[in-house]
């Protein structure tokens, strides 16, 4: 690796992958830092590579099974298992990253075959009776002799086998395998339906007067989008948040706001080829069946066994404790906004497509704060520098942009991350703009996970406001927070210090994994941090103190809406996954009825729409957050409490607290999540800090 790094520093522009193999996925990448040679990998390489990788892992597993019983050790079982599947991990890291960010029709066409192969391969290992027999023998004989990461690996892997069916009967194992394959297929179909329906809707406006109120930058972006879609005479909008949220926020045209709000909220729910309601029924029924096979009453309790919450009830109870003050505040906010609405539309009721628009007016009236004033100071590359700067100040990390690296799309940028002693921490890719080949949302991916001396390769993905023909990418306040949030996930992966892949970085309970990401959001609007990155994109002027004061004074503005929108999605998720049977969900139309009943039961107000309606709720039907969307709130309690540890010292960059928090990040799953947090804070997290921060207490 040192030779590769040295070579890179001398001839960075002469990057090429090995050509000795026809399939570049099947050998180590001969690139700087061993990053994937995206420029050489073609769609036709994936299926053969996955087949060979799965076959290779089977050989590695067989080698463990072939160890005589009298020679079994922790090293030749648990450690060998952790090291197995290296080639498969490489294929997974590359394929699924490209599929989600730049997947064309060919990629999507092979995705189900690959998902099925991976699901079956995983189940074959986790339900292998002979393999588990070896592991069980070592577990029972070594659990009192190991310590530290070795003991943690022993416990985590053994428990994982049990929870994935190792103790089931042969008949039960076969049924669980079939369920897993079908769930993988349904997940892919759900995501593809959402993406295709998002891309299919194109609203062209030809009369500029209909765009009254929209900032010029928003209109320019819409004009550029229309040109990309063959319409020189129009402005185009579609149901991606970067496209329709500015319309909700600024457009005087109420009918236009309603049209785009509706287009966003009916995705997957139009009884067409992309409808997801039947998909939801099948998914929930299979999850219930699987939970019962494992002896649980409902999917939530099964899924949350190893979470910090432990049970669905505990998660639900926390959500309701935060929900009550949130919806109470949202009701107050709605009354204020409706009073503004009625000045324009006497006797009309406030609707969900009115909220953003009148909230923006009210923010301007209360705090003289117009987001259009702020955006020019939030040029994307400067915001990213600000996030990097926080990591430098807290953890001593440095970021160097690398040119000429292999990338999967021209919009991707690559950074080398080093520590204060110039040791390599990892490689970070950033991919920030929406495109038709990218799924909606923002996320962090591990292309290569840290383990032992191997340093990670991490990707941060967003769907932020694109540059226009006249302006660079200028972010909204929500997008600034999202950039800092996903960078927090990246830091969790980058700073990992584990001996074993299984325990590294973000391989932690779902309700702990959002702590590092949400913690970073605390820094984005701090006055001292703003002064490091908020420069006007035209003049270079630093953001005025007056604007900084306005931003911070308005920090609790509209938080009833923000929390209510998030929490009602979390509660809807729990309502689905606390079900013990499908009595309430017999037909596709029952999905809409169930969602409406869930909203009514929790006391949701009509003026706010759930953040993710069921039919495009990718988190719980695609990306692994089922019975886990509550984790954003659980982790928010942790992050507010953790940030309070800094604030209590009077220095949000306090070196002693930062050192302890850095250790928390490095630990990954080396120790229990609750123990990890207690080591940092010295006491359990207190939800009062979250309520105070949100202005709800």
Residues involved in catalysis: 486
Asked if residues 626 and 577 have their Cβ atoms less than 8 Å apart, the reply is yes
Tokens 């395998």 locate to: 177
How far from 438 is each of 319, 620, 631, CA to CA, in Å?
31, 19, 25
Burial of 136 (0-12, 13-18, 19+ CB in 10 A): middle
Which residues, other chains included, contact 436 with Cβ-Cβ below 8 Å and sequence gap of 6+? 199
Region at 478 (left for phi over 0; alpha for psi -120 to 50; beta for the rest): alpha
Q: How many Cα atoms sit within 13 Å of 416 on the Cβ side?
A: 17
What Rg value do the Cα atoms of the chain yield, rounded? 25
Q: Give the strand order in the sheet containing 413-418.
A: 398-402, 413-418, 424-431, 457-461, 443-448
Spacing of C-alpha 605 from chain mean position: 27
Helices (H), 522-558: 527-533, 545-553
Residue 527 token pair: 């006055």
Alpha-carbon span 271 to 313, nearest angstrom? 34
Alpha-carbon span 139 to 672, nearest angstrom? 18
How far from 481 is each of 138, 167, 352, 459, 517, CA to CA, in Å?
46, 44, 23, 17, 10
**Residue 377: other Cβ atoms inside 10 A:** 24
Alpha-carbon span 160 to 287, nearest angstrom? 18
Which residues, other chains included, contact 289 with Cβ-Cβ below 8 Å and sequence gap of 6+? 175, 179
* Bridging pattern class, strands 457-461 and 424-431: parallel
Got the DSSP string for 444-475? EEEEE--BTTBPPEEEEE--PPPP-SSS--B-
Residue 291 token pair: 């939970």
Q: How many Cα atoms sit within 13 Å of 211 on the Cβ side?
A: 22
Beta bridge partners of 454: 451
Alpha-carbon span 247 to 320, nearest angstrom? 32
Region at 400 (left for phi over 0; alpha for psi -120 to 50; beta for the rest): beta
Alpha-carbon span 462 to 429, nearest angstrom? 11
The C-alpha angle with vertex 14 and arms to 10 and 18, in degrees rounded to 5, equals: 115
Burial of 576 (0-12, 13-18, 19+ CB in 10 A): buried
The H or E element containing residue 385 is helix 380-395
Measured in degrees and rounded to the nearest 5, phi and psi for residue 459 equal -120, 130
């Amino acid at each position: 690796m040192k030779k590769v790094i040295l070579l890179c520093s001398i001839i960075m522009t002469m990057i090429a992958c090995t050509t000795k193999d026809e399939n570049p996925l099947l050998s180590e990448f001969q690139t700087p830092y061993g990053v994937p040679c995206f420029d050489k990998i073609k769609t036709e390489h994936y299926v053969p590579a996955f087949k060979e990788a799965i076959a290779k892992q089977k050989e590695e597993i067989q080698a463990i099974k072939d160890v005589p019983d009298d020679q079994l050790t922790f090293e030749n079982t648990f450690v060998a298992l952790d090291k197995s599947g290296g080639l498969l991990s490489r294929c997974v890291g590359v394929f699924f990253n490209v599929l989600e960010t730049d997947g064309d029709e060919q990629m999507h066409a092979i995705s189900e075959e690959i998902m099925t192969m991976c699901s079956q391969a995983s189940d074959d290992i986790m339900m292998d009776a002979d393999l588990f027999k070896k592991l069980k023998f070592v577990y029972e004989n070594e659990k009192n002799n190991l310590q530290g990461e070795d003991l943690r690996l022993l416990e985590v892997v053994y428990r994982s086998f049990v929870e994935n069916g190792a103790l089931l009967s042969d008949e039960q194992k076969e049924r669980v395998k079939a369920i897993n394959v079908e769930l993988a297929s349904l997940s892919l179909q759900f995501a593809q339906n959402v993406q295709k329906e998002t891309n299919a809707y194109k609203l062209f406006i030809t009369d500029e007067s209909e765009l009254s109120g929209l900032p010029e930058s928003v209109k320019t972006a819409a004009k550029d989008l229309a040109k990309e879609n063959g319409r020189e005479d129009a402005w185009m909008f579609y149901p991606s948040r970067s496209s329709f949220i500015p319309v909700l926020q600024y457009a005087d045209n109420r009918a236009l706001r309603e049209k785009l709000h509706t287009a966003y909220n009916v995705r997957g729910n139009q009884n067409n080829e992309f409808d997801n309601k039947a998909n939801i029924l099948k998914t929930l029924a299979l999850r219930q069946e699987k939970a019962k096979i494992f002896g649980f009453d409902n999917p939530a309790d099964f899924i949350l066994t190893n979470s910090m919450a432990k049970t669905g009830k505990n998660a639900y109870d926390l959500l309701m404790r935060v929900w009550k003050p949130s919806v109470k505040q949202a009701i107050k906010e709605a009354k204020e906004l409706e009073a503004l609405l009625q000045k324009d539309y006497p006797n009309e009721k406030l609707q969900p497509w009115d909220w953003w628009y009148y909230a923006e007016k009210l923010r301007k009236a209360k705090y003289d704060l117009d987001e259009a004033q702020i955006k020019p100071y939030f040029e994307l590359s400067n915001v990213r520098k600000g996030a990097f700067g926080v990591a430098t100040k807290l953890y001593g990390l440095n970021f160097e942009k690398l040119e000429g690296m292999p990338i999967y799309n021209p919009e991707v940028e690559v950074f080398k991350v080093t520590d204060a002693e110039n040791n390599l921490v990892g490689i970070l890719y950033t991919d920030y703009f929406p495109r038709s080949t990218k799924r909606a949302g923002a996320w962090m991916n591990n292309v290569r996970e840290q383990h032992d001396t191997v340093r990670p390769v991490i990707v941060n993905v967003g769907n932020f406001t694109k540059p226009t023909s006249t302006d660079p990418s200028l972010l909204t306040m929500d997008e600034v927070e999202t950039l800092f949030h996903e960078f927090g996930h990246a830091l969790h992966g980058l700073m990992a210090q584990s001996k074993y892949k299984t325990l590294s970085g973000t391989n932690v309970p779902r309700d702990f994994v959002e702590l590092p990401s949400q913690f970073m959001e605390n820094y984005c609007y701090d006055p001292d941090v703003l002064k490091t990155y908020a420069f006007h994109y035209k003049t270079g002027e630093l953001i005025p103190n007056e604007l900084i004061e306005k931003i911070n004074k308005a920090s609790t503005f509209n938080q009833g809406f923000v929390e209510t929108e998030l929490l009602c999605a979390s509660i809807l998720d729990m309502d689905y996954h606390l079900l013990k049977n499908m009595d309430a969900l017999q037909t596709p139309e029952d999905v809409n009825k169930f969602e409406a009943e869930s909203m009514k039961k929790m006391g949701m107000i009509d003026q706010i729409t759930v953040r993710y309606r069921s039919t495009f709720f990718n988190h719980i039907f695609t990306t692994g957050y089922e019975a886990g969307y509550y984790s954003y709130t659980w982790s928010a309690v942790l992050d507010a409490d953790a940030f309070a540890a800094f604030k209590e010292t009077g220095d949000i960059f306090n070196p002693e607290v930062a050192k302890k928090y850095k250790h928390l990040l490095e630990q990954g799953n080396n120790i229990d999540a609750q123990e990890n947090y207690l080591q940092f804070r010295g006491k359990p997290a207190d939800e009062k800090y979250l309520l105070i921060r949100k202005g709800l207490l």
